[in-house]
Structure 1
Amino acid sequence: MEDQKNLEAVMGLIMYGGNAKSDAMEAIAAAKKGEFEEADQKIADAEASLVEAHHSQTGLLTQEAQGNHMEVTLLTVHSQDHLMTAIAFTDLAKEIIDLYRFIK
């Protein structure tokens, strides 16, 4: 049962991280076309996905802090990498959008 919950949390990190990165990429594309309202909405969507990913991550961290150690697999490492990449990408997307806003 606990393994299933951990797997769901790991998959949540991957899914929400992927969604955030996709939304951030779409936000950049919208800003490039001068569609800043859409860009802002896509960034908001990306940030909402990151919040959901953090909920999954918090569950895993809480289990660890309570002494319930989980086996770290390649999938677990991949999920953390996915999340961190999505966070960095979203942060950079905001900067790129600001640059497009400044140029226009």
Structure 2
Amino acid sequence: MMDEKKLQEIMELVMYGGGGKSYAIEAIQAAKQGDFDLADYKLSEAEKSLLRAHHAQTDMLSQEANGNSSEVSLLMVHGQDHLMTGIAFKDLAKEIVELYRFIRTP
């Protein structure tokens, strides 16, 4: 059975990793409409959200490095997937926002 602290860390991976992805998508949508201030804000929020998820992941890695390993669960894999997908979306969103900015710049 998973302890409460481990469950909380995994849920932070899911929530903040997923949040980062959502903000990245919103940044692309804002750039598509020509609202680059909003796009930049959404990218910044994506960074913040993914940083929180990364801190949760780092805590879990530190615990394992200190000999407190835990059983890998489907929920943990799901959380890692959210984090990695969020990072990939954020990186792509930055490029897409810049493309829209370039296209709209006279």
TM (norm. structure 1) is 0.97
- SS of the residue aligned with 2:3? helix
Shift of 1:3: 1.4
Runs of 4+ in 1 over 3 A off after TM superposition: none
Q: Could you say what secondary structure the match of 2:28 adopts?
A: helix
Match of 2:68 in 1: 68
- Check if 1:34 corresponds to 2:34: yes
1:95 aligns with 2:101: no
Quote how far apart the aligned CAs of 1:20 are: 0.6
CA RMSD of aligned residues (A): 0.9
> d(CA) in 2 for partners of 1:58 and 1:4?
17
* Sequence identity (%): 62
Give the Å deviation of 1:40: 0.1
Letter paired with 1:34: G
- Hey, what does 1:6 align to over in structure 2? 6
For structure 2, the 5+ residue unaligned runs are none
Please give the alpha-carbon distance, in whole angstroms, between the structure 2 residues aligned to 1:54 and 1:22. Answer: 16
Count residues with an aligned counterpart. 103
CA distance in 1, matches of 2:72, 2:57: 14
